[in-house]
């Protein structure tokens, strides 16, 4: 008990430290527009690579791999699905029967990037 009193007088620990701040000679700035564009590209690349995907959308016998966090952050429907113990949450997959594969693929790409396809003739789901 005496050693504790010596180390922590009045039950306080005081830490002294020196801090030196070194500043670069060049100023570096990143524009917000660049960061935003890069984020969209990063999310697009993540979706296309399917790396770390943890959820599968089964559409017409074909699979679309995705990430729960991104789906939930961008879609209240997916958020509700993952917040409750629904079958889709427990099985990490959902069967979609009322939308064709190509359309659903574009919907998921939109969820990731906020971009819509520039192709004429797409169904009016956007």
Instruction: Output the pLDDT for position 7.
Output: 63
Which residue would you say has higher pLDDT here, 41 or 12? 41
pLDDT digits (tens, 9 = 90+) for 19-69: 777 766 666 666 666 555 688 888 988 999 999 999 999 999 999 999 999
Which residue would you say has higher pLDDT here, 40 or 92? 92
Contact 50, 112 (CB under 8 A): no
Question: Which phi and psi angles does 124 have, rounded to 5°?
Answer: -85, 50
Residue 13 clears pLDDT 70, i.e. is over it: no
Long-range pairs, 70-77, Cβ under 8 A, ≥24: 70/43, 70/46, 70/111, 70/112, 71/108, 71/111, 74/111, 74/112, 75/111
Nearest to 106 by CA among 78, 74, 64, 72: 64
**Residue extents of the structural domains in the chain:** 52-126
Fold held by 52-126: Potassium Channel Kv1.1; Chain A (3.30.710)
Instruction: Output the pLDDT for position 126.
Output: 45
């Amino acid at each position: 008990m005496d050693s504790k009193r010596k180390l922590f007088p009045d039950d306080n620990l005081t830490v002294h430290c020196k801090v030196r701040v070194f500043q670069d000679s060049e100023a570096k700035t990143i524009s917000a527009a660049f960061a935003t564009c890069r984020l969209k590209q990063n999310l697009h690349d993540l979706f296309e690579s399917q790396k770390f995907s943890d959820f599968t959308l089964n559409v017409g016998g074909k699979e679309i791999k995705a990430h729960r966090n991104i789906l939930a952050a961008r879609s209240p429907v997916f958020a509700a699905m993952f917040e409750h113990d629904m079958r889709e949450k427990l099985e990490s997959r959902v069967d979609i029967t009322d939308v064709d594969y190509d359309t659903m693929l574009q919907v998921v790409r939109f969820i990731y990037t906020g971009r819509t396809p520039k192709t004429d003739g797409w169904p009016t789901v956007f």
